[in-house]
Amino acid sequence: MDYIKIRFTDGFDHLDSKFEKTVEDLFRSINPMFALSERTWKPQMDIYETPDEIIIMGEIAGVTKEDLELEISSKAVKIQGNRVPITRMENATYRLAEIQYGNFERILYLPSPIDPEVVSASYSNGFLQVRLAKLSLDKTFKVPITER
Whether the predicted pLDDT of 113 surpasses 50: yes
* Domains of the chain, start order: 5-85+92-134 (2.60.40.790)
Question: What band does 9 get if pLDDT is binned at 50, 70 and 90?
Answer: low
What is the percentage of the chain residues whose pLDDT exceeds 70? 73
Mean of all residue pLDDT scores within the chain: 82
71-89 burial: b if 16+ Cβ within 10 Å, else e: bbbeebbbbebebeeeeee
d(CA 8, CA 73): 6
Cross-strand partners of 83: 102
Residue 115 · residue 134 · CB < 8 Å: yes
d(CA 73, CA 106): 14
User: In the prediction, which pLDDT does 132 show?
Assistant: 95
d(CA 68, CA 127): 12
User: In the prediction, which pLDDT does 90 show?
Assistant: 87
Model-wide pTM > 0.75: no
Residue 79 · residue 109 · CB < 8 Å: no
Question: Is pLDDT larger for residue 15 or for residue 51?
Answer: 51
135's CB contacts (< 8 A; 6+ apart) are 112, 113, 114, 115
Do you know the residue count of the chain? 148
121's CB contacts (< 8 A; 6+ apart) are 3, 4, 6, 70, 128, 129, 130, 131
